[in-house]
Amino acid sequence: MTAYEAELTHIEQRELFYTGKAKSLYRTNRPDVLWVDFRDDLTAGDGKKRGQEAGKGALNARIAAHLFDYLEGAGVRTHFLKYIEPSVHLVRAVQILPLEVVVRNIAAGSLIRRIGWEEGRPLSEPLVEWYYKRDDLGDPLLAEAHIALLSLADSTTLASLKEQALLINTLLQKKFSDAGLLLADFKLEFGRLASGTIVLADEISPDTCRLWDASSRVSYDKDRFRKDQGDVLGAYREVARRLGLV
């Protein structure tokens, strides 16, 4: 155990300071470390549809911890420090960028509503999209001109985010393909450390990915909740099982 890891065994949970739609953030006894509790809440349509699945938070925390460890091992810098069973991540404190980065490999979701393709049509190369992280506006799609207009990120930062997102996509596609799953699309969030370095943050889980069985194309992700397909928890557990986590 490194000295840094040893220090992480003495982290204490302190006051709640942010409640998101599926996670609660607490401060700790260290100003640079946050305590993230993955809750059982599920929302869709910017919170218009709400539900709960007992055990979902723990499954997402476990899956996301595994994926962050895997990405770190492949050289991707993330905010993740440590998983505490069943549903907590210790993470580096970051300033979250107000951009959601979506990577798509197969047409689904809002892409097919926007461009009229049929669900399941493969894209000839991965598509990276930017969305404005603003619930009050419904997280709209942004062109790079809008990002410049709003001064959300400069062109060098956007180029680096795109490069990181595409690398993460390649790594996750491999990881899920080994588990018999297709990664149709997913959403990433990035944050800035106090040093200014931008790292991957938030979570990667069945809440934030579209994962389809490689042969039947059945969904093992939050679309089961969005589309009322039932057995949401069973689907998340199956992802964890195929990743060798439960």
The whole-angstrom separation of Cα 71 and Cα 207 is 18
Give 47 or 55: the residue with its C-beta nearer to ligand TMP: 47
CB-based closest residue to ligand TMP: 109
Contacts of 67 (CB under 8 A, 6+ apart): 172, 175, 204, 205
Task: Identify which of 76, 168, 92, 185 has the alpha carbon closest to the alpha carbon of residue 131.
Answer: 185
User: Cβ 110 to ligand TMP, closest distance in Å?
Assistant: 3
Give 54 or 115: the residue with its C-beta nearer to ligand TMP: 115
Give 108 or 243: the residue with its C-beta nearer to ligand TMP: 108
Give 84 or 128: the residue with its C-beta nearer to ligand TMP: 128
Give 176 or 186: the residue with its C-beta nearer to ligand TMP: 186
User: Cβ 129 to ligand TMP, closest distance in Å?
Assistant: 8
User: Cβ 7 to ligand TMP, closest distance in Å?
Assistant: 32
User: Cβ 95 to ligand TMP, closest distance in Å?
Assistant: 19
Residue numbers at the binding site for ligand TMP (CB under 6 A): 102, 108-111, 139, 185-187, 208-210
User: Cβ 65 to ligand TMP, closest distance in Å?
Assistant: 17
